[in-house]
Structure formats: C-alpha cells, structure tokens
C-alpha cells in the first residue's frame, strides 16, 4: 500500500516537467526560428566552461605568491577548412621554446580537414570539444569560448589568448610578438602610462570596441526590438573584430558569462544584419571591464570594398614585401601583429618572403 502510494506520487512528480514541456510553448512563444545551437552542445559546453572556471580559480590561488610565473601566449585557431598557412606558422614558431607558447585548433568536425603532421605545431593541437560552426551565427562564439576554456584548463601559464583564423598570417617574428605583448612599455600607443616599468603588472586585452557604426541599431534589433533588454541596453551594445588578443582574466570572464550568452545565442530574423561573433566579445568586455581593454585590434584587416560582410582578400600577385610593410602600419600600436585575409593560393608567394620579410623585424 505504502509503496503503491509512493509510486503514484513519484510518477506524478515525474509528470510535472512533461506537463510543463507540453504547456510551455503556449505560455512562452518560441524564438523566431530554431536555435542553431543544439541543446546537447550547450550541455557539453557548460560542463567544459565550469571545469575551466574551477581549474582557473584553484590555479590562480596556487600561483599567487609566485613573483614571476612563466608567461605563455595561447594561439587559438578557428577554422572550417584546411589550415592553408600552416607552413608559414610553422616557420613563425620554429626554434621557439615551448615554454613560451601553446597552439590550439577548433576545426569544424563536419568538414574533412587535412591535418598538418610531421612535426608541425598543429600536429596535436586539434581540440576534441570542437563542434559544428556556421558563418554569422552564435556557433562561432561557442567555438571561440571552447578554445578559451580548453587553453585555460590545459596550461595555467597561458596568459594571452590570440584568436586567429585559417586566413590569418603573422606580420612579425615570434620574438617581436612576445616582446610586444609582455615586455614592451611603448608598443601600445594608447597606454596612459608609457614610463618603462620593467615587468608589467597590468595587461590589457587588444580588442576592437566600436560604438559608432551606421548599422549598429539594425544589428541590435536583429533578434527583435526588445529582445536584448534589460541586460543589454543599446548604449552598451558594441561591434568589433571577431579576432582579438585577450588576457587570461578576460578569457575567464568570457567563459563564465551566461547572461549575455543567453541573448546572443538567440537566432536573428535576418542573417545579413546578425554577425553575433562580431558583437558578443566587444559588448561583453565593454560592459564588464572597458578600462581593461585597448579598444583596438592587432589583426589588420582591409574592409575597403567589403562584399557580403567579407573583408578584402589578398591574391597571390598582390603579395610583396611592400604589402607586408603597409599592413604592419598602425595608428594605435607600434605595429599590427597579424593580418587577414589571404586566398590559400598566397601560400607560395608568402613562403618566398617569410624569412626575408615577414619574420624580419
Ligand atoms: C610525412 O613525411 C613523410 C616522409 O617524408 C611523407 O611521406 C608524408 O606524406 C608526410 N605526411 C604529412 C602529413 O605531411
Ligand atoms: C584594400 O582593398 C582595396 C580593394 O578593395 C585595395 O584597393 C587596397 O589597396 C587595399 N589596401 C591595402 C592597404 O592593402
Ligand atoms: C590612420 O589614421 C589616418 C588618419 O585618420 C587614416 O587615414 C588611416 O587610414 C589610418 N590607418 C590605419 C591603418 O587605420
């Protein structure tokens, strides 16, 4: 008798979520179209991000008190095709100590990719948590957050996180990049304090954060007029580059975020006004720590004559020492460190000048 009653109330309890599930769609109208993020991916990600947050907080406790930990740059490659410029990057990393950097690749698993082998830095760099990505969709935010989380867990020495794509090339040697990020007191022209200070104690993220953009309002309302409220008022909404160099503190803040993600993962009514990957990171950092960011990017991109949201893509005959010099020139720092986009066929002319021009500072 007792067990029967128990079973009855237990099954009633079990029914509750099912009833809610059936009724809920009528109470809360569904989003404009199906979310592109499968719920199983979302669950995997939340567990990865929780592990990264937990690992990072224990590690920062352990390492506090250590006056000069070794500092590494985590190079995070986001790709949905072959890594066309792997040979250029292998030259870039060649001869550098593994105590100064790590490499991680998020490759869309639905695409067949030739993985560089034979001693390439990319050989064992493909992360296992990678999932399907689609252009101009929140899947690119998820992929970037997976890279950040994986690098946070993998190595407590990862201090700067540089997000790059398969169309990116370096514009300087590794030494130059490392020195610019960790040691130089003059590299960042926007640094309010330019006095040499030896070992830097305060690092900022290099991420473009723009508020004056003619299409900003259209992008803001792309999911519906009031959808972003109350968490993200229009005054806080920003645009910037999908490719950035972020500090560890900000990487942690980014993988811990759930509030903004809940909004940015919603599908847009119009794909051509969406580009969540260009809005999520600048908006998040602008809201959480504007003083901790430079507001500009270290990845040169040419938006002149943009077509369908794609920047200008350089072709083999345009590759020259002069182009590299021109791409380095920045109004905000001593130099740009990376550039995009180049067609895959640029590999040959780029390899021809990699040692004599690109890696020569
Ligand atoms: C690795 O090197 C071997 C011998 O040089 C070559 O046959 C093979 O194709 C290379 N594999 C890759 C993935 O480059
Ligand atoms: C940017 O792209 C335009 C073509 O849209 C080209 O004419 C121009 O030379 C490029 N600028 C640089 C700095 O390469
Ligand atoms: C630097 O600023 C000048 C003047 O505003 C502008 O014409 C130029 O395009 C800028 N260069 C870059 C690389 O953004």
- Tell which atom from ligand 1 comes closest to the C-alpha of 117: 13
Arithmetic mean of pLDDT, 31-44: 73
Pocket lining: 325 vs ligand 2, CB cutoff 6 Å: no
CATH topology of domain 36-299: Spore Coat Polysaccharide Biosynthesis Protein SpsA; Chain A (3.90.550)
Pocket lining: 302 vs ligand 2, CB cutoff 6 Å: yes
Instruction: Kindly indicate the confidence band of residue 18, based on its pLDDT and cuts at 50, 70 and 90.
Output: very low
Is the per-residue pLDDT at 181 higher than 90?
yes
Reported as a single tens digit per residue, the pLDDT across 195-236 is 655 555 578 999 999 999 888 988 898 888 888 899 999 999
Euclidean distance between the first and the last CA atom of the chain, given in angstroms as a whole number: 84
Pocket lining: 118 vs ligand 1, CB cutoff 6 Å: yes
Reported as a single tens digit per residue, the pLDDT across 281-313 is 999 999 999 999 999 999 999 998 777 778 999
Arithmetic mean of pLDDT, 253-277: 89
> Looking at 7-21, 72-86, 154-168, 277-291, which range is the least confident one?
7-21
**What average pLDDT does the chain have?**
86
Pocket lining: 304 vs ligand 3, CB cutoff 6 Å: no
Residue 87 corresponds to which tokens in the numbers above? 């040979």
Pocket lining: 307 vs ligand 2, CB cutoff 6 Å: no
Nearest ligand to the CA atom of 333? 3
pLDDT the model gives residue 136: 79
Residues above pLDDT 70, as percent of the chain: 83
- Tell which atom from ligand 3 comes closest to the C-alpha of 331: 1
Pocket lining: 329 vs ligand 3, CB cutoff 6 Å: yes
Q: How far is the CA of 273 from the centre of ligand 2 (A)?
A: 24
Pocket lining: 312 vs ligand 2, CB cutoff 6 Å: yes
Q: At what angle do helices 248-256 and 39-63 cross, to 10 degrees?
A: 140
Pocket lining: 114 vs ligand 1, CB cutoff 6 Å: no
Reported as a single tens digit per residue, the pLDDT across 95-140 is 999 999 999 999 999 999 999 988 899 999 999 999 999 887 899 9
Q: At what angle do helices 248-256 and 280-288 cross, to 10 degrees?
A: 110
> Looking at 84-88, 303-307, 352-356, which range is the least confident one?
303-307
Taking the C-alpha atoms of residue 35 and residue 71, their distance in angstroms, rounded to an integer, is 39
Contacts of 85 (CB under 8 A, 6+ apart): 166, 167, 168, 169, 342, 347, 350
The residue whose CA is least distant from atom 8 of ligand 2 is: 304
Is the per-residue pLDDT at 21 higher than 60?
no
Pocket lining: 189 vs ligand 3, CB cutoff 6 Å: no
Instruction: Kindly indicate the confidence band of residue 240, based on its pLDDT and cuts at 50, 70 and 90.
Output: very high
Nearest ligand to the CA atom of 123? 1
Q: How much is the CA Rg of the chain, to the nearest whole Å? A: 22
In the chain, what are the domain boundaries?
A: 36-299
pLDDT the model gives residue 5: 56
Task: Indicate the top mutation candidate among 171, 312, 327, 331 to test ligand 3's pocket, ranked by most ligand atoms within 8 A of CB.
Answer: 331
């Amino acid at each position: 008798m007792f067990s029967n009653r128990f079973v009855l109330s237990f099954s009633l309890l079990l029914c509750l979520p099912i009833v809610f599930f059936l009724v809920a769609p009528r109470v809360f109208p569904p989003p404009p179209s199906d979310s592109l993020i499968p719920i199983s991916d979302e669950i995997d990600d939340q567990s990865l991000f929780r592990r990264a947050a937990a690992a990072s907080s224990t590690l920062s406790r352990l390492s506090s008190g250590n006056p000069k930990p070794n500092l590494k740059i985590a190079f995070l490659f986001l790709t949905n095709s072959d890594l066309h410029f792997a040979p250029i990057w292998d030259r870039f990393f060649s001869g550098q100590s593994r105590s100064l950097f790590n490499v991680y690749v998020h490759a869309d698993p639905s695409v067949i990719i030739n993985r560089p082998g034979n001693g390439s830095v990319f050989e064992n760099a493909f992360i296992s948590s990678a999932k399907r990505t689609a252009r101009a969709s929140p899947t690119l935010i998820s992929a970037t957050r997976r890279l950040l989380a994986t690098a946070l867990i993998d190595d407590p020495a990862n201090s700067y996180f540089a997000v790059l794509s398969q169309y990116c090339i370096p514009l300087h040697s590794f030494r130059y990049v490392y020195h610019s990020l960790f040691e130089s007191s003059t590299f960042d022209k926007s640094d309010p304090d330019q006095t040499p200070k030896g070992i830097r104690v305060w690092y900022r993220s290099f991420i473009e954060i723009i508020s004056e953009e003619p299409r900003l309002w259209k992008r803001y309302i792309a999911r519906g007029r009031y959808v972003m409220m109350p968490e993200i008022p229009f005054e806080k909404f920003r645009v910037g580059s999908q490719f950035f160099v972020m500090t560890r503190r900000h990487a942690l803040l980014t993988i811990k975020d759930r509030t903004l993600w809940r909004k940015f993962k919603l599908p847009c009514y119009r794909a051509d006004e969406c580009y969540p990957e260009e809005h999520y990171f600048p908006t998040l950092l602008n809201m959480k720590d504007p003083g901790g960011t430079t507001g500009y990017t270290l990845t040169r991109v040419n938006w002149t004559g943009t077509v369908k949201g794609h920047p200008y893509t350089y072709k083999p005959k345009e590759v020259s020492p002069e182009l590299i010099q021109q791409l380095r020139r920045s109004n905000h720092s001593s130099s740009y460190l990376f550039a995009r986009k180049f067609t895959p066929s640029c590999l040959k002319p780029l390899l021809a000048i990699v040692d004599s021009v690109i890696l020569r500072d």
